[in-house]
Every structure is written in structure tokens, then in C-alpha cells.
């Protein structure tokens, strides 16, 4: 478990203790411990002995942290000597539901979980008890729905990890499953999936099917694989089950098909419904092609049969039909990374290590963009520290002449719609990313005004993670995208595709819209460690293609001279 996870769980435990009547001291201790862990620089290794030496946590907290680090969240929570149900934590994730209100609901109406809360809302028990103000009551069904959506969201790396572990397990347990691959929304790189979907070829052994059912799989009907197909030839069975991984339950879907029809089934199960329908319709035109598709050796062959250029997995959605991937952003076209953090703010590694890795990756330029002074939590740089960093970068430029190091900042767009460094400082930097990190609950009007102010600043080059979402934790804030895109285009400001897999912000839907508004883009890693630099390689071009980005609109595909010219004039 990482720093964020430990801090989050300690905070949750503090809330649980705050529910009781005489546990205030423990509640406070856990809250303080959560803040301590949250403020640790990223490069501090989370080991219980080192933490104890430094912070001398009280015994129950020490034990909790040790359990979190060795056995995970569930084990740590179950070991707590508390007498309230752990499911109350679900309720406290709703906005406005602190320990006081949740405790009252629990004691007066015996509401222990999100489900209980929903039932009490439906049968009028809550309304009758007059515990919640009218406005909160009205919002509640929507808030419960949104929370459920957030809890179901599976990010790409998490989903792929669960898929890999599951594939290995299936191979070991069921020798009659021959080839097993990831498919569905995970394969087409959707920023959020809600199911882990796998495709397996199977030799038809009926005992395997019985075994799978004995082990908790149930048989489902899936229209994408059976709809309008010659069912006798295309022996498809779809099975579902819930799997546990890292303290979390994931819905798993496995499609079993005959080895001959694997390629066709992979095409059909990877894409969305519109894509599957499109393929079916084209095949239905010609019975001979239909039969041939069931014997296709490779996915490419299926696309040849339907007279459509091969579609990369990430493009197999309604908007991707009839698109030509070769005109879109390609991995090899990226020439540099323009958003990353070093140990000077909240990164894990020194600038030099970041530079060395960028050289190894074959980049011709990079920008160091540590946080600005107000962002305490991320050890934002004061003007003095920024100037010292400038000297360090000057020395590194001498040492590594093979790459151009731009000295930049990720300047905070403050709550009052001003920037966190004054114009003089910003003008002295090579590169400026401007982002919102605070006051994200402001109204759409206020947030739009903040972004517009940054876009209109003569010193800002990129708007970082423009909608602020954190998959599974925080939704995108609502802003007036038409105005943002128009202003970005008018002021020649690039909008970011932030490749942190928990952000992937802008989402492909907005990227496609911003493309239509003729905006420029920067596809960045927002790396906080050397390892994070790989995000750009892992997600940048695929998500960029999902957003229909073309290379000429992505500023970090440009030659250095072009980029510098743009920086000088934009």
C-alpha cells in the first residue's frame, strides 16, 4: 500500500472512532497520524521501523500501519477493537456525511451501510426523522449513485494487473482453456472500466464448464458474441464471477469460444456494441464471408473481410469506425515530456535522474515543472528555491548537452483566479504549466473563470489536467468547455492530456471536442518519479488516438526549434 492509501485508511479509522462517544482521543491520534503520513515526501520509504524511529506512533496506530503495509486495508480494519460496523465507512464517503451525522443515523435509525441508507430513503424513514436538511435530502439519491459509480471504476493499470493474475490462475486451474487474452474496455484502453473481460479459446471439454460453474462462475448470455451469428459453429459461452484482488472485489467476465473462431470473437468482444453491430452487418451481406470470418486466423483478416482498414483495439468504438489510425498520434512521434516533478517539490527522484531517463528514452527535450509556493502539501517551491533550481539546471545543461532541459513550473491557479507566481517570475521561466489543485468545489462559473484567467496570461503555455478528476476518488469539475476550448485556441495555449492513469485528463471525449475547436495539446507524464516517465509511453499515444489527436496538434511531437519558436511567440 502506498503513502496515499495508508493516510486515507488512517483518516477513515479516525472517523470510525469519532462516531463513538468516548473515543475522541483515539480519533484525534489517528487523524494526526494520517496527516503525518500524507505530508511525507514521496521518496521516503514506507517501512514501519523507519516510521517508528521518526514519529513514535502510539501502539494501536503502529500496529494499524504495520498491518496496512503487510496485510492490507481489510486486515487492518478487522483488527480494530471497535464496536460500530465497518460498513459505516461507506456512508462517510458521501459529501457532508461526517462522523456526527453518520453516528446519528446509526444510533437513531440503525442505518449501517449505503444499502440501509437507500432503503431508509425509499421508505421515507429518513424524511420522517428530519435528520437531514431538505437540500441534502434532495441531492442524496444522486450522490449515492455517483459514489457507487466511483467505487466501481477500475483504472487501466489496476484492471490489467487483475487480468494478468486471473489469466495465470485460469491457465493453471483449467488445462482445457487454450489461449486466454484480455478483451473488452480494458483492451481498448478506456480510462475507466467496470468489468475485467477475458476471452479464452476452449477445446469444448464439458467437464471444464462444469468445473468452472462449481468454482462460482455462472453462465450468461452475451449479445456481442452470439447475436446474428451462426450459433452452431460459433460455440460461445459467457461466464461471470466476482474475483478478489488486493482487498477489492472485481466483476470478471470470461467468454469461451472455439479455437477457430478466436480471432473473430476477439474483434467482437474488444469493441463496443456499435462496433460489434457494424462488423456483424458487414459480414451478413455475404454468407461466404460470414463463414470465412469464423475461420479467420488473425484479427486483420476479419477487417479485410469487411473491407475496413485494421482498427487498433483502442479505436473499436462508434467514433473510431471509418477512421485511419495512421494519421493519428504515434508513439514514435513524441520528442519530449513537458510536465514532471523532481524531489525539489513532491517528486521521488532528483532532477538529474529524470534527465538521464529522458535521454535513455530518446527525447530531445524535457521540462522540469515542480509545484509553486502555495502548494504546501506538495512542498511547492518558493521563489528562492526556484532560483536555486535554476542554477542546478544550468549545471545539468552543461553536463548533458545531448538534451534540452527547459526550466518550468506547474504554477497553481489560485482560488481567487490569480497565479501563484507574479508575472516577473513567470516571464523568467522557459516554460509554464498552470493547473488547479485547490478549491475544486467552486461553482462551474468560478472554475471556468480561473481557467480562462490562466489561458489569457501571456506566460502560461499549458493548462495541466484541465478537469481535475482522480478516477475512483474525485469527479471532473464542471466547467464551460466551449469557452475554455475557444479561449485556448485563440491564445495558442496547449491543453494537456495528463497520462497519470488515475487522471487521463482531458478524457478522450473532451479531446475529440477540443480537436474540433482546433486546439493544441501536450501529452505529458506528470511524472513524480523516474518510473512514472513510462506513463507517456504506456498511455500517451493510445489515449491520444482515442481523442483523435493528430501529431501536428501535439506540441511535444514538434522539433525543438518549432517548440522554442512557439514558446517565444505564444
Which stretch of DSSP H or E encloses residue 351? helix 351-360
Selected range binding Zn ion among 63-71, 92-100, 296-304, 522-530, rule: CB under 5 A = 522-530
Nearer to Zn ion by C-beta: 299 or 410?
410
Does residue 526 bind Zn ion (CB under 5 A)? yes
CB of 495 to Zn ion, least distance (A): 14
Nearer to Zn ion by C-beta: 191 or 464?
464
Nearer to Zn ion by C-beta: 193 or 435?
435
- The set of cell numbers assigned to 477 is 469539475
CB of 368 to Zn ion, least distance (A): 11
- Between 450 and 489, how does the x/- string for binding to Zn ion read (CB under 5 A)? --------------x-------------------------
Selected range binding Zn ion among 254-262, 399-407, 469-477, 521-529, rule: CB under 5 A = 521-529
- With contacts defined by CB under 5 A, how many residues of the chain interact with Zn ion? 4
CB of 397 to Zn ion, least distance (A): 22
Does residue 410 bind Zn ion (CB under 5 A)? yes
CB of 537 to Zn ion, least distance (A): 18
For the chain, report the end-to-end CA distance as a whole number of angstroms. Answer: 43
Selected range binding Zn ion among 62-70, 79-87, 222-230, 432-440, rule: CB under 5 A = 432-440
Is residue 106 a contact partner of residue 87, using CB atoms and an 8 Å limit? no
Nearer to Zn ion by C-beta: 73 or 503?
503
Does residue 372 bind Zn ion (CB under 5 A)? no
Selected range binding Zn ion among 120-128, 373-381, 434-442, 453-461, rule: CB under 5 A = 434-442
Quick one: which of 358, 414, 368, 424 has its CA closest to 391? 368
Does residue 507 bind Zn ion (CB under 5 A)? no
Nearer to Zn ion by C-beta: 8 or 469?
469
CA–CA dist 234, 83 (Å, integer): 55
Residue among 333, 435, 529, 557 that touches Zn ion (CB under 5 A)? 435
3-state secondary structure of 421: coil
Q: What are the beta bridge partners of residue 245? A: 248
Give start and end residues of each alpha helix (H) in 401-538. Answer: 423-428, 444-456, 481-490, 508-516, 534-535
Does residue 349 bind Zn ion (CB under 5 A)? no
Nearer to Zn ion by C-beta: 316 or 469?
469
Is residue 368 a contact partner of residue 408, using CB atoms and an 8 Å limit? yes
Does residue 299 bind Zn ion (CB under 5 A)? no
φ, ψ of residue 461 in degrees (nearest 5): -110, -35
Nearer to Zn ion by C-beta: 380 or 464?
464
Distances 389 to 249, 336, 525 between C-alpha atoms, Å: 45, 20, 21
Is residue 372 a contact partner of residue 381, using CB atoms and an 8 Å limit? yes
The strands making up 196-202's β-sheet, listed across from edge to edge, are 177-183, 196-202, 248-257, 237-245, 218-220
CB of 300 to Zn ion, least distance (A): 39
Please name the residues in contact with 437: beta carbons below 8 A apart, sequence gap of 6 or more: 371, 375, 378, 412
Nearer to Zn ion by C-beta: 117 or 462?
462
Per-residue burial over 354-392, b if 16 or more Cβ lie within 10 Å, else e, is bbbbbeebebbbbbbbbbbbbbeebbbbeeeebeebeeb
Does residue 344 bind Zn ion (CB under 5 A)? no
- Between 221 and 240, how does the x/- string for binding to Zn ion read (CB under 5 A)? --------------------
The binding site for Zn ion (CB under 5 A) comprises: 410, 435, 464, 526
Amino acid at each position: 500500500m502506498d503513502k496515499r492509501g495508508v493516510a486515507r485508511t488512517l483518516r477513515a479509522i479516525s472517523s470510525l472512532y469519532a462516531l463513538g462517544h468516548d473515543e475522541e482521543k483515539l480519533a484525534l491520534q489517528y487523524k494526526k497520524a494520517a496527516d503525518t503520513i500524507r505530508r511525507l515526501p514521496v521518496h521516503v520509504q514506507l517501512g514501519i521501523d523507519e516510521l517508528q524511529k521518526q514519529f513514535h506512533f502510539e501502539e494501536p496506530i503502529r500496529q494499524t500501519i504495520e498491518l496496512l503495509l503487510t496485510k492490507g486495508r481489510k486486515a487492518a480494519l478487522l483488527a480494530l477493537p471497535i464496536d460500530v460496523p465497518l460498513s459505516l465507512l461507506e456512508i462517510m464517503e458521501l459529501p457532508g456525511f461526517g462522523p456526527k451525522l453518520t453516528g446519528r443515523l446509526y444510533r437513531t435509525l440503525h442505518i449501517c451501510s449505503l444499502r440501509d441508507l437507500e432503503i431508509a430513503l425509499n421508505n421515507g424513514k429518513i424524511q420522517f426523522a428530519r435528520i437531514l436538511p431538505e437540500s441534502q435530502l434532495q441531492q442524496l439519491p444522486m450522490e449515492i449513485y455517483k459514489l457507487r459509480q466511483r467505487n466501481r471504476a477500475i483504472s487501466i493499470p489496476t484492471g490489467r494487473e487483475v487480468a494478468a493474475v486471473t489469466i495465470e490462475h485460469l491457465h493453471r486451474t483449467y488445462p482445457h482453456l487454450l489461449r486466454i487474452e484480455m478483451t473488452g474496455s480494458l483492451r481498448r484502453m478506456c480510462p475507466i472500466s467496470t468489468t475485467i473481460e477475458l476471452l479464452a479459446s476452449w477445446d469444448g471439454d464439458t467437464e471444464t464448464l462444469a468445473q468452472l460453474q462449481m468454482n462460482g462462475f455462472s453462465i450468461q448470455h452475451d449479445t456481442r458474441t452470439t447475436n446474428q451469428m451462426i450459433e452452431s459453429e460459433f460455440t460461445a459461452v459467457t461466464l461471470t464471477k466476482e474475483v478478489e484482488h488486493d482487498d477489492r472485489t472485481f466483476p470478471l467476465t470470461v467468454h469461451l469460444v472455439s479455437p477457430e473462431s478466436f480471432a473473430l470473437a476477439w474483434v467482437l468482444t474488444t469493441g463496443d456494441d456499435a462496433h460489434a453491430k457494424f462488423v456483424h452487418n458487414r459480414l451478413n451481406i455475404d454468407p461466404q464471408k460470414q463463414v470465412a470470418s469464423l475461420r479467420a486466423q488473425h484479427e486483420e483478416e476479419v477487417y479485410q473481410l469487411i473491407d475496413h482498414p485494421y482498427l487498433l483495439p483502442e479505436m473499436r468504438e462508434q467514433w473510431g469506425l471509418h477512421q485511419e489510425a495512421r494519421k493519428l498520434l504515434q508513439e514514435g512521434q513524441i520528442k519530449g515530456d513537458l510536465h514532471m516533478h523532481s524531489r525539489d517539490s513532491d517528486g521521488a527522484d532528483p532532477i538529474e535522474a529524470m534527465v538521464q531517463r529522458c535521454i535513455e528514452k530518446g527525447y530531445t527535450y524535457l521540462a522540469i515543472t515542480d509545484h509553486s509556493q502555495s502548494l504546501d502539501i506538495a512542498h511547492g517551491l518558493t521563489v528562492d528555491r526556484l532560483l536555486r533550481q535554476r542554477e542546478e539546471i544550468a549545471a545539468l545543461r552543461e553536463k548533458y548537452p545531448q538534451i534540452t532541459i527547459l526550466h518550468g513550473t506547474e504554477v497553481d491557479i489560485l482560488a481567487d483566479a490569480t497565479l501563484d507566481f507574479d508575472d516577473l517570475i513567470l516571464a523568467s521561466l522557459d516554460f509554464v504549466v498552470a493547473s488547479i489543485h485547490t478549491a475544486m468545489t467552486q461553482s462551474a462559473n468560478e472554475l471556468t473563470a480561473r481557467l480562462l484567467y490562466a489561458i489569457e496570461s501571456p506566460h502560461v503555455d499549458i493548462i495541466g489536467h484541465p478537469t481535475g478528476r482522480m478516477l475512483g476518488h474525485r469527479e471532473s469539475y464542471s466547467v464551460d468547455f466551449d469557452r475554455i476550448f475557444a479561449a485556448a485556441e485563440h491564445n495558442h495555449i496547449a491543453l494537456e492530456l495528463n497520462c497519470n492513469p488515475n487522471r487521463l485528463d482531458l478524457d478522450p471525449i473532451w479531446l475529440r471536442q477540443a480537436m474540433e475547436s482546433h486546439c493544441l495539446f501536450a501529452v505529458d507524464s506528470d511524472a513524480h518519479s523516474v518510473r512514472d516517465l513510462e506513463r507517456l509511453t504506456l498511455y500517451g499515444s493510445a489515449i491520444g488516438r482515442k481523442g483523435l489527436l493528430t501529431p501536428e496538434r501535439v506540441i511535444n511531437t514538434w522539433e525543438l526549434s518549432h517548440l522554442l519558436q512557439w514558446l517565444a511567440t505564444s
